[in-house]
A and B are shown apart, each in its own frame.
Chain A
Amino acid sequence: MKLSCTVLLSVILPVVLSPSYSFAMHISEGILPFSWALFWFIASAPFLAWGLRTLTRRSASDLSSKPLAGMVAAVVFIISCMPVPVPTAGTCSHPCGTGLAAVVLGPTLGVVVAAVALLIQALFLSHGGLSTWGANLFAMGVVGSFAGFFAFRTLRACGAGPVVAAFAAGLLADWATYAATAMILAAGIRGTSPFWPLAGKIALAFVPTQLPLGIIEGAITAGMVSLLHKKRPDLLARTALAATEGEGR
Chain B
Amino acid sequence: MKRATVLGALFVLVLLCAAKSPCAAEKWQGIDETVVQKIAKEHGREAKGALINTGEGDLQLFAFLVAGAIGGFVAGYYWRVLLEGRKKGS
What distance in Å separates the Cβ of A167 from its nearest Cβ neighbour in chain B? 23
Q: A30–B48 contact, CB under 8 A?
A: yes
A25 CA / B34 CA spacing, docked (Å): 10
Specify the chain A residue showing the minimal Cβ separation from B50: A126
A21 CA / B79 CA spacing, docked (Å): 35
Specify the chain A residue showing the minimal Cβ separation from B7: A10
Q: B37–A28 contact, CB under 8 A?
A: yes
Q: B27–A90 contact, CB under 8 A?
A: yes
Q: B44–A191 contact, CB under 8 A?
A: yes
A6 CA / B31 CA spacing, docked (Å): 29
CB of B69 within 8 A of chain A? Answer: no
CB of A193 within 8 A of chain B? Answer: yes
Chain B hits for A85, CB < 8 A:
28
Partner of A6, one of B7, B47, B52: B7
CB under 8 Å from chain B, chain A span 202-238: 202, 205-206, 209-210
Interface residues on B, range: 35 or more
Chain B hits for A126, CB < 8 A:
50, 53, 55
CB under 8 Å from chain B, chain A span 62-84: 63-64, 66-67, 70, 83
Q: B19–A18 contact, CB under 8 A?
A: yes
Q: Contacts A91-B34, A126-B50, A205-B39; is A30 near B45 (CB within 8 Å)? A: yes
Q: A21–B55 contact, CB under 8 A?
A: no
Chain B hits for A129, CB < 8 A:
47-48, 50-51
A63 CA / B77 CA spacing, docked (Å): 12
Specify the chain A residue showing the minimal Cβ separation from B85: A63
CB of A58 within 8 A of chain B? Answer: no
Q: A31–B51 contact, CB under 8 A?
A: no
Q: A193–B43 contact, CB under 8 A?
A: yes
Q: B35–A206 contact, CB under 8 A?
A: yes
What distance in Å separates the Cβ of B65 from its nearest Cβ neighbour in chain A? 12
Chain B hits for A6, CB < 8 A:
7
Q: A24–B30 contact, CB under 8 A?
A: yes
Partner of A66, one of B3, B31, B48, B78: B78
Chain B 13-26 interface mask (CB, 8 Å, partner A; 1/0):
01100110000110
What distance in Å separates the Cβ of B39 from its nearest Cβ neighbour in chain A? 6
A133 CA / B8 CA spacing, docked (Å): 38
CB of B58 within 8 A of chain A? Answer: no
Partner of A123, one of B12, B27, B34, B63: B63
Q: Contacts A18-B18, A29-B48; is A124 near B31 (CB within 8 Å)? A: no
In the assembled complex, 11 residue pairs joining A and B whose CB atoms fall closer than 8 Å, in A order, are A11-B14, A25-B30, A27-B32, A32-B45, A64-B82, A92-B28, A123-B54, A124-B60, A189-B45, A191-B43, A206-B35
Please name the 9 residue pairs, one residue from A and one from B, whose CB atoms are nearest each other, closest first. A23-B30, A30-B48, A14-B15, A28-B47, A18-B18, A189-B43, A205-B35, A14-B14, A10-B11
**Interface residue ranges, B against A (CB under 8 Å):** 3, 7-8, 10-12, 14-15, 18-19, 24-25, 27-37, 39-40, 43-55, 60, 63-64, 67, 74-75, 78-79, 81-82, 85-86
8 further interface pairs, Cβ-Cβ under 8 Å (given A24-B32, A120-B67): A67-B82, A122-B50, A123-B63, A126-B50, A185-B40, A189-B40, A205-B31, A205-B34
